[in-house]
Chain A
């Protein structure tokens, strides 16, 4: 079974619970409109979405460059802010990964016109304390083991 954002989903017959993650474009569409209004950005929602998708593409690429250190990555909309949550491969806060996430955060904020962007590193066992997976987009990883 796959729960990631792929064009095809293979669901095996088993007792295992199925968790689907829709692309949530409606959620991010609403968020984009809020951000445009809150930040008084003079761009259309279409342009905002193009910037947002460009940012997602960049984050996916970044995670693949650091996949030995990252287990999961989510993108969540919170009011007028976009937040990325990274679950490290380690059970503890990864200080070296944190240093690299600062560079990524700065790059995202200054490269993509999407409003405020934050990055957080969270423990894999506590994902539910920090985000609602139903209202987030899984950017990287297989989150069946996380909740």
Chain B
């Protein structure tokens, strides 16, 4: 089973490498999009036909406490590798906590079935070798979807066989119990998220892209333990880099300005002689910002960009409020 999967992963890598030549790269993060989409649909189909139905039966038939026990048992096995990776990343405190966790859960927790460690305040931190590589400075590289296993980066695809090999359950004898256990583990993990899996369907316009873009962000966040980048780089600032909002407010004002300008032009055209400002007053909203904008507009060609707008707090606020009011639907859902 194990070697099977490993060679499968390798074959995938090769296939990905082969495909990269002919793929039309639209997204720099995802040069293998054609291949990935095919794998994504394949995984989806397998889930629909086999895994999800099995998980549904499992969650309906198996008592809740047994499900929790099964989840804990396999989680405890995974914690051993988490410990190693935390230590490899130099996170000694976390690593030692993981060691205690495994020790406590394996003994007092009856071989991992009870998660006493969590109750004792030793939180679970999942770490894999891909995260360790990332911590060491290896870039994620392109996005890859593996058959059955789902989303990965190229780096994690390379690291994955090691994660697989490090899993204690892979050495369970006899082999038939190992295989049964592997299936139960898979079904249990799927069952844990049964109720929510339709949500993604609802939320995404393009499920593939949605999962990809969320996954790549999540991976970065995992590597830096909740940050969007190496320490010191605030995710808040990062998010603001492409913040078009300030610009949008200016645009809104500019739009009003050009509207006022064309109104003024129309009014001027209608009357043979130029009218004064009050003539166009009813056409637009009465606001201090508008009055100011209108003055500008009269000296400007309609439709031109607002010259370096000085957005006073007051005017931007009123524009904002107006937009909010307009955006709000009249009735509830």
Do A and B assemble together? no
